[in-house]
Amino acid sequence: MIKRNLRYFILILLASVFSSCFQIIEEINVAANGSGTVNLTVNLSASKTKVASIMLLDSVNGYKVPSKQKIQKEMDEVVAYLRNSPGISNVKKTVDLENYIASVSFAFKNISNINNVNQNVLKKMKIKAVSNSSYTFSPETNTFQRSYAHTKEALLEYNKLKPEVKNVFKEASYTSIYRFEKPVSSSSNPLAKISKTKKAVMLNTGMMGLINGKTNISNKIILSK
């Protein structure tokens, strides 16, 4: 996923070392022809007072606290990169430094465009992959698939963190929402819920499960014909 590899997000997360919780929300809307839109949000609002006090510091627990300008700059770089990526268009970002909410949204021609973006953003940011995740959608079979494999590296990287920073992840949550034009006939992941309209699938879980590999967010969603 792009979000996990974006440095500005990570920096904000690290900046909130004392905060009790943060939210990551990933929304993907897929049209019948395989195109669609993505919206990624990181929300630190529940910890805003703590983040605000941390932002006044230069570094916390040995991690450099990014300045507001730095966060904006990093975001701009990501947007610029996305705009130049094949199949990606309509890139928008919002950074709310009052509430510490950042989000990026863009449209894609084909879901496979996200996978490329993911890997390239990752390379660009020189960040080691912490998970293997890819998306496929086949209009012929009406199957949307998210393949996710936990990598041990995620846990190794996590274990390297200081205890105070580890605490940040304990209360953090991850939400993914996939919306389709056709109703969903089956969703393979037992953690996922299907909406009343049957056109959306939501999975809400804690970050810790993703880090230690206890939670699997792979899902095979078959749409009715």
Q: What is the rounded CA–CA span in Å between residue 117 and residue 99?
A: 28
Q: How far apart are CA 10 and CA 63, in angstroms?
A: 11
Q: Specify the residue, 26 or 130, whose C-beta has the smaller distance to another protein.
A: 26
Note whether 22 and 168 are within 8 A (CB).
yes
Whole-number Å distance between alpha carbons of 88 and 82: 7
Shortest CA distance to 18 belongs to which of 53, 58, 56? 53
Is 26 a binder of another protein (CB under 8 A)? Answer: no
Closer residue to another protein in complex, CB, 7/199: 199
Q: Is 222 in the site for another protein (CB under 8 A)?
A: no
Given the complex with another protein, which of 122 and 203 has the nearer CB atom? 203
User: What one-letter code names the amino acid at 4?
Assistant: R
Maximum distance among all Cα pairs of the chain, rounded to whole angstroms: 56
Stretch of 19-27, 61-69, 131-139, 149-157 lying at the interface with another protein (CB under 8 A):
19-27
- Listed in sequence order, the residues at least 6 apart from 136 whose beta carbon sits closer than 8 Å to its beta carbon are 111, 112, 143, 144, 145, 147
Question: How far apart are the two ends of the chain, measured CA to CA in Å?
Answer: 28
* Whole-number Å distance between alpha carbons of 9 and 12: 5
Binder among 33, 67, 99, 159 for another protein (CB under 8 A): 99
Is there binding between residue 196 and another protein (CB under 8 A)?
yes
According to CB under 8 A, which one of 7, 11, 18, 25 is a site residue for another protein?
Answer: 25
Q: Which residue lies nearer to another protein by CB, 3 or 48?
A: 48
Examine residue 197 and tell whether it contacts another protein (CB under 8 A). yes
Rounded to the nearest whole angstrom, what is the least distance from the CB of residue 204 to another protein in the complex?
9
Question: Do 89 and 107 touch, CB atoms closer than 8 A?
Answer: yes
Does position 53 bind another protein by CB under 8 A? Answer: yes
The yes or no reply on residue 23 touching another protein (CB under 8 A) is yes
- Answer for which of 2, 42, 177, 184 binds another protein (CB under 8 A) is 177
Size of the site for another protein (CB under 8 A): 25
- Report, in Å, the least distance between residue 183 CB and another protein: 11
Shortest spacing between CB 202 and another protein, in angstroms: 5
CA pair distance 17, 62, nearest whole angstrom: 11
* Residues engaged in binding another protein (CB under 8 A): 23, 25, 27, 41, 43, 45-49, 52-53, 98-99, 101, 175, 177, 179, 195-197, 199-202
